[in-house]
Amino acid sequence: MDIGIPKERRDLDLRVGLGPKSAGALVAAGHKVFVQAGAGAGSGFGDEEYTAVGARIAYSAEEIYKRARMVCKVNTPSLDEIEQLESGQVVCSFAHLAAASPQRFAKLREKKVTAVAYEMLREPSGHLPILRAMSQIAGRLVPQIAAALLQSPPGQGKLLSGIPGIPPAEVCILGAGEVGHNAARALAGLGAHVTVLDMAEHLAEMDRIFDVPGRLRLMYAYPDEIAKAAAFADVFVGAVLLPGERAPHVVTEQMVRSMRPGSAIIDVSIDQGGCVETSRPTTLRDPTFVKHGIVHYCVPNFTALVARTASRALSNVVRPFLLRLAAGPESLVRDAELRPAVPLYEGRVLDPRLGAAHGVQTESLAEGA
């Protein structure tokens, strides 16, 4: 199969869909890999590293989309990129289609694209390995972002860790998954007071594995408890995940109004629509806005802040899946592990959650495959 790796188009996003070693593994398996010139430069991968493993350099995104049967990206395609797609192409990326605009979703269907959603790829154990890797990075980035948001201006001018005699910041994390655990561990290690909200099973697991005793408070994620946590938080982290679905607004606008002026919200769920009612997507260049006196950080692709780490992690974990996908779109019919990560197959909506989010009818892959 001919496989293309274009440059990412989002402003300041220097990640790349596949590193040289994984590209080389695809070449060694008999596939042709085309890499847009300079696509890996921002992640520390030179064109010569790709050519050394047998990949070929293409000098424009247009050439990539013309040559490739399967396109490997990080971000879901923009409207401009969708226009360049050829009918029937396979696009592998973080898709988050339940939160996609109606216009972009309709264009993908019109182009009869097959979308492979990285955030939905599962191992036999049920784990989501690609999402897990990015969530680990996101969680460990949260303290860096929180510390910057607390600085004045526009924040409270509070030191995350505090000093002797001056208490540390209060950080509340809604969601005890990979993002929540990694954020809590890193924040507590820096000296912040950390509260994690979730339901009983996840809280018990957090209590069992957390290795920074005395700095963690656990609360049930009931609406009244969320409201209480928001009211005392200096930083509130939204890390709610429903794979394949739009994130629910569990933090209401009234809860946001109750927060102290200068407090901050980091809505990590924004790539799935956001779990805070007042959130809206922002960008790496302009990452924050203030509403009701609260600083909101809502960057969907903020793991691009560490482009080299993120690209290396993505490339390593996605390699075995791409080797299976490269057998051809028909592999999606045969492979029971890959099939749930295909919300769109040649423009047809397969995932009932996606169909419900956009009000369209879903089909079974077996019906017309």
Neighbour-count burial of 11, counting CB atoms closer than 10 A to its CB (0-12 exposed, 13-18 middle, 19+ buried): exposed
Q: Which is it for strands 90-93 and 32-36: parallel, antiparallel or unpaired?
A: unpaired
Number of H-type helices and E-type strands within the chain: 14, 15
pLDDT digits (tens, 9 = 90+) for 130-183: 999 999 999 999 999 999 999 998 889 999 999 999 999 999 999 999 999 999
Domain termination residue (choose one: 283, 300, 317): 300
Q: Are residues 191 and 316 in the same domain?
A: no
Q: Are residues 184 and 281 in the same domain?
A: yes
Share of the chain above pLDDT 90, in %: 84
Region for residue 3 given its phi and psi (left: phi exceeds 0; alpha: psi -120 to 50; beta: otherwise)? beta
Q: Is 127 a catalytic residue?
A: no
Domain termination residue (choose one: 252, 274, 300): 300
pLDDT digits (tens, 9 = 90+) for 316-349: 999 999 999 998 767 776 787 788 899 999 999 9
Q: Which residues pair with 345 in a beta bridge?
A: 348
pLDDT at 367 over 70: no
Q: What per-residue confidence (pLDDT) applies to 94?
A: 96
Which band of pLDDT confidence, cut at 50, 70 and 90, is reported for residue 368? Answer: very low
CA distances (Å), origin 302, targets 269, 305, 351: 11, 6, 27
CATH number of the domain where residue 316 is located: 3.40.50.720
Q: Are residues 115 and 146 in the same domain?
A: no
Q: Are residues 153 and 114 in the same domain?
A: no
What average pLDDT score do residues 62-87 get?
94
pLDDT at 68 over 60: yes
Q: Are residues 153 and 290 in the same domain?
A: yes
Q: Are residues 149 and 239 in the same domain?
A: yes
Q: Is 224 a catalytic residue?
A: no
**Which has the closest alpha carbon to 267: 299, 222, 234?**
299
Q: Are residues 60 and 166 in the same domain?
A: no
Q: Distance (Å, rounded) from C-alpha 231 to C-alpha 234?
A: 9
Q: Distance (Å, rounded) from C-alpha 208 to C-alpha 224?
A: 25
Instruction: Record the pTM.
Output: 0.94
Active-site hit among 198, 267, 271, 351: 271
Active-site hit among 96, 193, 202, 296: 96
Number of domains making up the chain: 2
* Structural domain boundaries, residue 255: 135-300
